[in-house]
Chains A and B, each alone.
Chain A
Amino acid sequence: MASSGSYPQALEELILSLRRLPGIGSRTAERLALAMLDWTAHDLELFGAQLANLKKRLRFCDSCGNLSEAPLCRICSDPRRQTDVICVVEQAGQIPVFERAGCFRGLYHVLGGRIEPLEGRGPGELRIEALRRRLEGGQVRELILATSPDVEGEATAAYLADAFRGLSVTISRLASGIPVGADLGFADSATIAVAINARRTVGGGSG
């Protein structure tokens, strides 16, 4: 079943790299690598350049922490977005899920994880102070906590709700149309829409 040593080294190395991707087992990695053998040299070079530039062209948005090519991401620099609502997510990868649902017109804030004591990850490793500065700017009226509905996500939401309780910001939590323990990345758009529209207040002022 494993591919150990049955291919030339160049192919073997590519298979090993592909296997590092989530959801790719050795059999799939082999299939993908063999499929690329059929590509034209030009297509392969283009693909290689895309990979090489991935980290050169991408950076994190100075404001929200989203992936971006400019200092401000496309959402933060879009004048049509509501600037008085911020939706807090754990990872930048969750933003497109909300965007596809199409019902949220505010801004985001990427925490960069959640408080995970069993992994030794404390609040100091999250972008919480950056969020506080945004809230203290005074423009934000509502904060939506969209951390995942498992123990760590709920605890992180509770932490943020407590931390910003003194500010005049309404704090709400996504309603759980989202299956308990589910990965937000796999939630469908309809579910996300329900969850956003049925969010519940968990703390904060109402000014």
Chain B
Amino acid sequence: MERQPLQTPGHQPENSGGSLRSLILKQFRNYGHAELEFKPGLTVLLGPNGQGKTNILEAVHYLAFLRSFRTRQIKELIRFGADGFQLQAGLAAAVAESGADRLSVTFGRDRRLFLNGAPMDKGSEFINQFFCVAFIPEDIELVKGPAAERRRWLDMLTGQLDRSHLRDLHAYNHALKSRNAILRQFGKFDAGSLDAYDQLLARHGAAVIQNRRQTVGRLASCALADSAVLVNGTLEYEYLPGLPKSDPSASADDHPAAGGDDAPSAIQGRKLQEAYLEMLVQNRSRDLRDGVTVWGPHRDELVIRLSGRLLSAYGSEGQCRASALWLRVASARILREYTASPQAALVLLVDDVLGELDESRRAAFWDQIQGGGTQIFFTCTAIPPSLTGRVTQTLHVSAGVVSTGG
């Protein structure tokens, strides 16, 4: 069923150029009311700093994921003095996953979602109507930050291709919290309750592990060959599920392990679920003693090495930034390569991440992400030479007002 990955740039699959055609922002950040029309291709958002360029990227990101890339505080998105915001997007017809071409979010007392004007209750069904990848300075945390940053990145990417991943992840987290509550109130809850929640944890936990491992496998196959255009050296990725080593001679403590062929990391499907369940039962007395579930995908790690050395420990600032940028390039490739709906719009948001690159690498970056119907929004204070001949539309941003004129 799975298509073979790896396409060389220049051989992008044919794409109808599905894209974001319009965006309306009301009382969002520094925008009172702005209506924007977009052309397919590369749109430059041009203007001095602090005028609201990034806010437009943030609005697009919010429509794609129902979350900002800068804050978890929804209040920060509401214009000062207003009591809510509204965002609306128009997509080129039939490029959305659901077939909808109008998305709308209003956030007042509560959040209301509309697809083609019809209200929608669940955020989990609303998100990912179009594929979106943001390139932002904070991405360096993907490389230098704690494992949770890489898990979140893996989960967002995996969830874009497979909605069921986010359902499994949500169910896993809920079952994990529930099991921990049982561990702390054992007596009120019997062993049968623990057995029951163990089954739920194994079902959803095994699915989460399997999905994440698949995405890392795609990352490795998609992204190895061309990363050299941005990063000096070879990038390698290793997925380490948060499961104990199966080797009994290994210490049962603390370090999640990769393991050999019969380790939980290498097995799939029902067998993984069974091994997972057995692992929970084996660790039950320890979990009961500590009042917390020790092992599971909440401890997964994605190890990134550059030419054999752990990037987060040994990489320079420049190497880490370039590698983080590459992770986003690879995300876009994986979405394009593995989507079940080739019509889907792919929208890239590029904000202030090219500072460390020299001109030739900047050109290489644009070569990597442009074409194949991909729509790109790029913020800058002046159009750099590397963009010559690539721009299809320039919008001038000044104090919350967007204009097409120069």
Q: Are A122 and B190 in contact (CB under 8 A)?
A: yes
Q: Which 5 A-B pairs have the closest CB atoms?
A: A117-B181, A159-B196, A158-B196, A117-B178, A155-B196
Q: Is the interface of A mostly helix, strand, loop or mixed?
A: helix
Interface residues of B in 229-266 (CB under 8 A from A): none
Residue from A122, A151, A159, A163 whose CB has the most chain B CB atoms within 10 Å: A151
Q: Are B181 and A154 in contact (CB under 8 A)?
A: no
Interface flags, A140-177, vs B, CB<8A=1, else 0 = 00000000001110111011001100000000000000
Task: State whether A123 and B193 are in contact (beta carbons under 8 Å apart), knowing that A151-B171, A155-B200, A158-B199 are contacts in the complex.
Answer: yes
Measured between beta carbons, the chain A residues less than 8 angstroms from B196 are 115, 155-156, 158-159, 162
Could you say which of A122, A151, A154, A162 contacts B189, with CB atoms under 8 Å apart?
A: A122
Q: Are B178 and A151 in contact (CB under 8 A)?
A: yes
8 contacts between A and B (CB under 8 A): A115-B196, A117-B189, A117-B197, A118-B177, A123-B189, A155-B200, A156-B196, A163-B192
A96 in contact (CB, < 8 A): no
Interface residues of B (CB under 8 A from A): 122, 167, 171, 174-175, 177-179, 181-182, 185, 188-190, 192-193, 195-197, 199-200
Q: Are B190 and A123 in contact (CB under 8 A)?
A: yes
Q: Which residue of A lies closest to B177 (CB)?
A: A118
A23 in contact (CB, < 8 A): no
Q: Are A159 and B193 in contact (CB under 8 A)?
A: yes
Bound: A123/B200 CA distance, A: 16
A79 in contact (CB, < 8 A): no
Q: Are B167 and A180 in contact (CB under 8 A)?
A: yes
Q: Are A152 and B190 in contact (CB under 8 A)?
A: no
Q: Which residue of A lies closest to B172 (CB)?
A: A151
Q: Given A118-B181, A155-B175, A155-B197, 8 other A-B contacts at CB below 8 A? A: A118-B177, A123-B192, A151-B171, A151-B178, A155-B199, A158-B196, A159-B192, A181-B122
Q: Which residue of B lies closest to A154 (CB)?
A: B200
Bound: A124/B193 CA distance, A: 10
Measured between beta carbons, the chain A residues less than 8 angstroms from B181 are 117-118, 120
Residue from B178, B182, B195, B196 whose CB has the most chain A CB atoms within 10 Å: B196
Q: Are A151 and B199 in contact (CB under 8 A)?
A: no
